């Protein structure tokens, strides 16, 4: 009960601070993002069964490749462009393996859509990224967009199972934004993980244009992706922390 009151208080403070300056949307977004980061910090400090796994910092150490699309126009670069706000800096503290000296690049994805209605892009790590044993419960990452009509999907792989596709949201915003999503893992996959210790692996990220996306060049950035893993042996659907982390911000 105490923990739920803490979550509510953090969410309330974040909401109040966001209403102080309604003129500046970027400021409100920064404050909302900081309130979410503080909630994550509280959970990591008090709920030891949760492991925040760094999928990738997108600094160039892990190679990624583009599949599908117009191949000669596809490009991935790791540029010196990262979010410039306190939430991004604070969140760095939660990843002890992340080197501050190397945390100054993000991954730029560039492509060209000839016919957006009938195209999508698959961005894959050269080798699948294996998660620790446990149930993935939530994902956090940063993305830069220019109000594009498209959405992202995360594809997880698990032995003896079809792919698990998770909607990560749309790109209909400007600038850097912290994305946070609850991961709904099917019961069958949960059992494969707990009973047979079949791990989950990040297989790819899909970019899917919407019906109003214009033909032409398409560019967006990704930075610092982490997944919160519930490492309890007896974890089951519904046992995770209630999903009231500031929904609707």
DSSP assignment of 2-22: HHHHHHHHHHHHHHHHHHH-S
* 189 alpha carbon, distance to own chain's centre: 20
Q: What is the pLDDT of residues 121-156, one digit of tens each?
A: 999 999 999 999 999 999 999 999 999 999 999 999
Predicted local confidence at residue 70, as pLDDT = 61
What is d(CA 130, CA 78) in angstroms, rounded to the nearest whole number? 22
The pLDDT of residue 99 is above 80 = no
Asked whether residue 21 carries a pLDDT value surpassing 70, the answer given is: no
Looking at every residue in the chain, the average pLDDT score rounds to: 85
Contact 125, 62 (CB under 8 A): yes
CA–CA distance, 249 with 237 (Å, rounded to integer): 25
Predicted local distance difference test score (pLDDT) of residue 245: 56
Task: Give dist(CA 71, CA 62) in Å, integer.
Answer: 20
The strand ranges marked E within the chain are 50-56, 64-67, 75-79, 106-113, 121-125, 129-130, 135-146, 150-157, 164-170, 174-182, 201-209, 216-230
Q: What are phi and psi of 167, to 5 degrees?
A: -75, 125
Cα–Cα separations (whole angstroms), residue 132 to 79, 164, 197, 206: 29, 17, 10, 23
DSSP annotation of 138: E
Q: Are 159 and 206 in contact (CB under 8 A)?
A: no
Higher pLDDT residue, 17 or 34? 34
pLDDT confidence of 100, banded at 50, 70, 90?
confident
Percent above pLDDT 90 for the chain: 69
Q: Are the C-beta atoms of 125 and 201 separated by less than 8 Å?
A: no
Q: Structure tokens of 144?
A: 């830069």
* Positive/negative CA dihedral, 37, 39, 43, 45: positive
Q: What does the pLDDT read at residue 232?
A: 87
Res 71: pLDDT: 63
Flag whether pLDDT at 248 surpasses 60: no
Q: Token match 């893992």: residue? A: 185
The predicted-structure confidence for 22-54, as pLDDT tens digits, reads as follows: 233 455 778 899 999 999 999 999 999 999 999
């Amino acid at each position: 009960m105490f923990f739920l009151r803490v979550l509510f208080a953090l969410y309330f403070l974040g909401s109040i601070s966001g209403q102080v300056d309604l003129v500046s949307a970027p400021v409100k977004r920064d404050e909302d993002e900081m309130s979410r980061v503080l909630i994550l910090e509280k959970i990591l400090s008090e709920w030891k069964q949760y492991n925040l796994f760094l999928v990738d910092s997108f600094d160039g150490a892990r190679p990624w490749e583009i599949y599908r699309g117009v191949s000669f126009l596809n490009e991935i670069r790791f540029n010196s462009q990262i979010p410039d706000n306190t939430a991004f800096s604070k969140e760095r503290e939660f990843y002890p393996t992340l080197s501050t000296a190397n945390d100054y690049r993000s991954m730029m994805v560039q492509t060209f859509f000839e016919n957006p209605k009938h195209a999508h892009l698959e961005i894959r790590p050269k080798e699948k990224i294996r998660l620790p044993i446990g149930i993935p419960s939530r994902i956090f990452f940063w993305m830069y967009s220019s109000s594009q009509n498209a959405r992202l999907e995360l594809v997880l792989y698990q032995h003896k199972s079809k792919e698990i596709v998770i909607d990560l949201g749309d790109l209909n915003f400007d600038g850097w934004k912290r994305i946070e999503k609850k991961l709904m893992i099917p019961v069958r996959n949960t059992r494969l993980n707990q009973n047979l210790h079949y791990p989950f692996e990040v297989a790819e990220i899909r970019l899917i244009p919407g019906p109003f996306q214009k033909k032409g060049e398409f560019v967006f950035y990704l930075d610092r992706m982490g997944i919160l893993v519930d490492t309890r042996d007896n974890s089951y659907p519904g046992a995770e922390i209630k999903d009231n982390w500031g929904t609707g911000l």
